[in-house]
Structure 1
Amino acid sequence: MKVHFISIGGSVMHQLAIALKKKGYQVTGSDDEIFEPALSNLREAGILPIEIGWNSEYISPDLDAVILGMHARADNPELLRAKNLGLPIYSFPEYIYQESVQKKRIIVGGSHGKTTTTSMIMHVLKEQQMAFDYLVGAKLAGFEQSVQITNAPVIVCEGDEYPASVLEKRPKFHFLFPHVAILTGIAWDHINVFPTFDFYLEQFVIFIQKIEPGGILIYNETDAVLAGLVEKHIRSDIQYQPYGIPKHEINNGTTTLEINGVKGILGVFGNHNLLNAMAAYYACLQLGISTETFLKAIASFTGAAKRLELLAKNNVTNIYRDFAHAPSKVKATVEAVRLQFPERKLIAILELHTYSSLNVNFMNEYKGALDEVDEAVVFYAKHALEIKKMPDLPADKVKEGFGNDELIVLNDKTDLLNWLRKINRANANILFMSSGNYDGLNINSLAEEILPTSS
């Protein structure tokens, strides 16, 4: 197979390119910018483009596939040549499907919890030494890459609802046709792509319709919106497996869950992770993994990168980083830390970084999201607004949207640093929530700096 990637430098695109190279394919690619870690990863794999930029000469008639990344524009010269030659052109998810037609496909969709649920399934399968391929949106301990394509009989994929490519505007998870489908919940997001909630909901209806006949839908019945959606679109040719929060107890910051009378420790915490674990459990059952085996394996799961990731700790303070940015994710993460450590003060620093979160018309979706926090900052960089060509976001509109007049709203990272150094951090948990980087702050080193002296 001879494959060319247009926009090979993407965070997931370059991982697929490396996976195909390892499979023995002849892989080439191009991009107009490639940053770390993709730059080093591609160089090490021997498929870093010789020069940066687009070149229609890269597109030869003998290519078996051209894989188009989201970064490429419709007038890309390589794309235009590929069209003129009549070559097969695939978006990322379309190509993943081509590589997994003969596999059992487990696809995890939903507005939140996709990465963690996918990672949990992967972890359990790896513990059982099962052969499987995967696609996941974060770095996971024990896995070299976020994409693997081999001749394994099973593939586990995180199913994103974001558009597949510049040519194919439909959501990525519409192209994966699961045998085992998971929906973790629905909460409106990506308003720049889905301007109304009804339009956003419709994407999940279509996903359910894409489940292979004889397949199964595993869904979070505690999510009223999702449960209502499932009830309205029942299919007679698939099975349904609802799930909720399992029986559990929390002692000294450790969670023990119980499934079918069998108990096991969960290394991560919070109701959202208990739900994620149940979704993963039912998926693993479809692969013949028993309750006892699942609970033994999941005990060593420590989470995906930036999902309640513990950055620093002592006996008086824990500092976490989480990818939470959408309202439902923020609420779930705050609730998790509050319930796990009820005796500690909770300090939260939320960065607004996405198109949705920086949009004044979306701000009301955050109402109450930080109410359980003792001291809260909402940070957003003016630079982020400029890059996205968005208007200024007044601090009073942020407070109004969150429904919290006590909220501290900051735009300058120096002000944020000064605030963090000044507040009392003893007997407290500190929670950084962002899909960005706080305008270039090194959160890892900052966590070590602000960790108070233990007692």
Structure 2
Amino acid sequence: MRVHFIAIGGSAMHNLALALHHKGFAVSGSDDAIFEPSKSRLQNYELLPVEMGWFPDKITSDLDAVILGMHAKIDNPELVKAQEIGLKIYSYPEFLYEQSKEKTRVVIGGSHGKTTITSMILHVLHYHSRTVDYMIGAQLPGLETMVHLTDENDFILLEGDEYLSSPIDRRPKFHLYQPNIALISGIAWDHVNVFPTYENYVEQFETFAESISRGGILVYNEDDAEVKRIAEAAQAPTRKHSYTLPEYSIENGETLLNTPDGPMPISVFGEHNLSNLAGAKWICQHMSIDEDDFYEAIAGFEGAAKRLEKIGETAINIAYKDFAHSPSKVKATTDAVKNQYPNKRLVACLELHTYSSLNAEFIKGYKGALDAAEDAVVFYSPEAVAIKQLETITKEQIASAFDREDLIIYTDPTEFKSYLENTTFNDTVLLLMSSGNYGGLDFSKIQDLL
């Protein structure tokens, strides 16, 4: 099968391209810019475009499919050519569904936690040598790609993103998968550039719950009132299983999970991660992993990349980075780190980087999000606001939104880096929360600052 990717360099797109190449497809692609690690990974398999740009001549009638990435515009010349000659054009999630419609589809949805839950499930399955197809939003240790597709595996595990499918398909990705087994972890308003009201955002999860295939199963977090309401009202699933925060304790900076065989030390911590673990356990049981086998495997799970990932440690100091950007996740992550290390000083640094977090109305939701930290820092780039064509945000607006008089605010990457370099870390936890990199911060150098 011959497939062509329009915007092949994206994180999700290049991983799908690699997965199809490994499956034996003839893969080609274009993009106007490709960055690392996508560039090297495509180059390793001779899939990197020879030159950057869009070339309608690449779109020919002998292509079986064109896969369109979100990065492309609706007037993209390759897309226009594909439409003109009548080629089948798929969005990323549409093509994943086509590759998995004969399999049992397990889809993990939620505003937060979905990458961690999917990672936990994959960790447990691989620990017990259970092979499945998958698509996940983070690179996991031991896995070459974030997408794996075969003809023989019975299950496919999909991280269900609620963002739009493509420039010409404005449906949320997770509406297209039609899961046999689904999970909803939690709901907190996000993607305000696409879903302008909270009600509109919640509606996408209601639709997701009703997209479950006939005879399907819905696993849901009953600690989240909105999720519980949606799950209880859903008509599509035949069976519903709720989960809640499991019992645990913290001793000397180590989290102990209560199990039928007694307290068990685990590497992840924080109530949001423990809730994720409870959801992952239910899904694994529906994939024929019993409870004892789940606990045996999960004890060795150390987390997904950028999800409370330890990036530095000395005898007295520790540094973590986390993908947290929405108000609820920032608060949950900050609280989790403080609860884990109650006797250490916590320096919490948040970069406002996404469309939502740079929205003047949305930032009001951050009130109290960093209160657990002794030192709270917010970084944002006025240039990023301008590039995203958003209304200008002032330092005064941010200070008012967080409602914290001692909040430190930086807009210059050099000044923020100097702050880190000149801070004396003494019995301290440094927490860096962002979906970006603070204007060019090298996370590999953080160890040197501790």
User: Structure 2-normalised TM-score?
Assistant: 0.97
Could you tell me how far apart the structure 2 residues matched to 1:82 and 1:394 are? 44
Q: Give the Å deviation of 1:341.
A: 0.9
What are the superposed Cα offsets for residues 128-147 of structure 1, whole Å, 9 maximum, x if unpaired?
11111111111111111111
Q: Give the Å deviation of 1:252.
A: 1.5
Q: Does structure 1 retain, via aligned residues, the 8 Å contact 2:215–2:238?
A: yes
Structure 1 unpaired stretches of 5+: none
Could you tell me how far apart the structure 1 residues matched to 2:430 and 2:243 are? 31
Q: Which residue number corresponds to residue 85 of structure 1?
A: 85
- Secondary structure class of the residue paired with 2:14: helix
Q: Does structure 2 retain, via aligned residues, the 8 Å contact 1:247–1:258?
A: yes
- Secondary structure class of the residue paired with 1:378: strand
- Secondary structure class of the residue paired with 1:360: coil
1:128 matched to 2:122? The reply is: no
RMSD: 1.3
Q: Give the Å deviation of 1:115.
A: 0.6
1:224 matched to 2:229? The reply is: no
Mapping 1:400-415, distance limit 5 Å: 400-415=400-415
Mapping 1:19-98, distance limit 5 Å: 19-98=19-98
Residues 7 and 236 (structure 1), Cα distance of their counterparts in 2 relative to 1, 3 Å cut: closer
Could you tell me how far apart the structure 1 residues matched to 2:312 and 2:212 are? 42
Q: Give the Å deviation of 1:382.
A: 2.3
| Counterpart residue type for residue 373 of structure 2 | V
Q: Give the Å deviation of 1:265.
A: 2.8
Could you tell me how far apart the structure 2 residues matched to 1:237 and 1:197 are? 24
1:201 matched to 2:202? The reply is: yes
Q: Which residue number corresponds to residue 101 of structure 1?
A: 101
1:367 matched to 2:367? The reply is: yes
Q: Give the Å deviation of 1:389.
A: 2.4
Could you tell me how far apart the structure 2 residues matched to 1:19 and 1:405 are? 50
| Deviation larger for 73-82 or 296-305 | 73-82
1:147 matched to 2:135? The reply is: no
Q: Which residue number corresponds to residue 157 of structure 2?
A: 156
What are the superposed Cα offsets for residues 135-183 of structure 1, whole Å, 9 maximum, x if unpaired?
1111111111111111211111111000000010110000011111011
Q: Which residue number corresponds to residue 6 of structure 1?
A: 6
Q: Give the Å deviation of 1:413.
A: 2.1
Q: Does structure 1 retain, via aligned residues, the 8 Å contact 2:54–2:76?
A: yes
- Secondary structure class of the residue paired with 1:12: helix
Mapping 1:41-440, distance limit 5 Å: 41-151=41-151, 152-231=153-232, 233-235=233-235, 237-260=237-260, 263-440=263-440
Q: Give the Å deviation of 1:260.
A: 4.5
Residues 289 and 317 (structure 1), Cα distance of their counterparts in 2 relative to 1, 3 Å cut: same
Q: Does structure 2 retain, via aligned residues, the 8 Å contact 1:260–1:291?
A: no
Residues 237 and 204 (structure 1), Cα distance of their counterparts in 2 relative to 1, 3 Å cut: closer
| Counterpart residue type for residue 420 of structure 1 | L
Q: Which residue number corresponds to residue 450 of structure 1?
A: 449
Q: Give the Å deviation of 1:77.
A: 1.8
Structure 2 unpaired stretches of 5+: none
Aligned residues, how many?
449
| Deviation larger for 341-350 or 416-425 | 416-425
Q: Give the Å deviation of 1:262.
A: 5.8
Residues 160 and 39 (structure 1), Cα distance of their counterparts in 2 relative to 1, 3 Å cut: same
| Deviation larger for 334-343 or 48-57 | 48-57
Could you tell me how far apart the structure 2 residues matched to 1:172 and 1:12 are? 12
Q: Does structure 2 retain, via aligned residues, the 8 Å contact 1:110–1:185?
A: yes
| Deviation larger for 199-208 or 334-343 | 334-343
Q: Does structure 2 retain, via aligned residues, the 8 Å contact 1:349–1:378?
A: yes
| Counterpart residue type for residue 217 of structure 2 | I
Runs (4+) off by over 2 Å: 228-231, 258-265, 389-392, 417-424
Q: Give the Å deviation of 1:204.
A: 0.3
Could you tell me how far apart the structure 2 residues matched to 1:404 and 1:229 are? 35
Could you tell me how far apart the structure 1 residues matched to 2:237 and 2:206 are? 15
| Deviation larger for 243-252 or 120-129 | 243-252
Q: Does structure 2 retain, via aligned residues, the 8 Å contact 1:262–1:291?
A: no
- Secondary structure class of the residue paired with 1:164: strand
Question: What is the percent sequence identity of the aligned residues?
Answer: 48
| Deviation larger for 30-39 or 188-197 | 30-39
| Deviation larger for 60-69 or 92-101 | 60-69
| Counterpart residue type for residue 280 of structure 1 | A
Could you tell me how far apart the structure 2 residues matched to 1:164 and 1:237 are? 24
| Counterpart residue type for residue 186 of structure 2 | G
Could you tell me how far apart the structure 1 residues matched to 2:421 and 2:142 are? 35
| Counterpart residue type for residue 218 of structure 2 | L
Q: Does structure 1 retain, via aligned residues, the 8 Å contact 2:211–2:236?
A: no
| Deviation larger for 277-286 or 221-230 | 221-230
Q: Which residue number corresponds to residue 15 of structure 2?
A: 15
Could you tell me how far apart the structure 1 residues matched to 2:8 and 2:286 are? 34
Q: Give the Å deviation of 1:236.
A: 6.4
Could you tell me how far apart the structure 1 residues matched to 2:2 and 2:263 are? 49
Could you tell me how far apart the structure 1 residues matched to 2:394 and 2:33 are? 33
| Counterpart residue type for residue 70 of structure 1 | M
- Secondary structure class of the residue paired with 1:169: strand
Q: Give the Å deviation of 1:228.
A: 2.2
